[in-house]
Amino acid sequence: MGTRPSVTALFVFTCMTAAGAQEPPREASATTEQVKPGLYVLRSAGGTQVAGNVLAVIGDDSGVLVIDSGYPQFVPKYREVLGALHGGPITHVINTHWHDDHSEGNKLFGADGALIVAHTNAREMLMHDNKINVVRTVLDQPAFPPAALPVVTFDDRIELYFGNERLELVHASPAHTAGDVAVILRTSNVVHTGDVFLPAAYPFADVDNGGDFDGVITFCRDILARIDRDTIIVPGHGATATYNDLASYIEMLEDVRGRIIELIDGGATLAQVVAAQPTKEYDAKYGNPTTYFLDRAYKSLKQ
């Protein structure tokens, strides 16, 4: 578990390379960034694994709610840093989707009695063995044990209340996966987008498991319509972002989509789409499109 590569380890390095900050593997660690009073982004990495951004909501007397759970090896680190912030036990977990870098910590949190919430499709995927085609390799994600599964699920939208925070959980469409959730913290005006939006990387649509490139655009548009220009965006990986960052991301995706569709309509093969460089002016910001993005986008739009 501590050495198995993750979905994100293969495309977060794209973000890191784009930013010129690739680092060698290191021991498990977790850092914190305060985004609002009582709200902290936990970032962790170690060995060959990079967990997704965990957003922790520290309640007054209600413990801690986390959005995403990372990998089990990082859970003790999360508890350690939250304890230093005077946070109580982690009592609630929301999964933005089912990929292991955002959900495998469920195995510890669920066993300790935390209430786990996710989209209906995410629970379904966690109940059986899966293969994730990230183009350069295919990753195995075994089924989760019963105690690690979400116990509250929904299809389109649900609201939760935790301490003084009102949380709106929204599923707009299949996107990165078939079970993505955007978590909008209405009291604090913060949103966690999961891996639907990554401000320094092209999106990865898990097409073989229900992800959809057009759905990424739909989902991002839906998030943008639900927030305002002061909203702080916590993406699935990378630095916090803004309304304008998300708006620019949508414009990029729509532009690139139009170019790929035009090529497909003209009978272009994947190799011909790659050769046409439909993302050329965006690559300095979002990284190498040939690692996974163009392959998955082509397959999604072709079908």
Domain ranges of the chain: 7-302
| Residues 246, 241: Cα–Cα separation, whole Å | 8
Quick: pLDDT tens for 118-152. Answer: 999 999 999 999 999 999 999 999 999 999 999 99
CB 246 within 8 A of CB 266: no
Quick: pLDDT tens for 15-69. Answer: 433 333 444 556 888 999 999 999 999 999 888 888 999 999 998 776 999 999 9
Fold exhibited by the domain 7-302: Metallo-beta-lactamase; Chain A (3.60.15)
Quick: pLDDT tens for 283-294. Answer: 999 999 999 999
| Residues 110, 141: Cα–Cα separation, whole Å | 18
CB 169 within 8 A of CB 154: yes
Which token pair is 99?
A: 């990929």
Q: Which of 14, 4, 6 is nearest to 293 (CA)?
A: 14
Quick: pLDDT tens for 237-254. Answer: 999 999 999 999 999 999
User: CA-based angle 131:135:140, to the nearest 5?
Assistant: 20
Whether the per-residue pLDDT at 14 is higher than 50: the answer is no
Mean of per-residue pLDDT scores for the chain: 92
Whether the per-residue pLDDT at 90 is higher than 90: the answer is yes
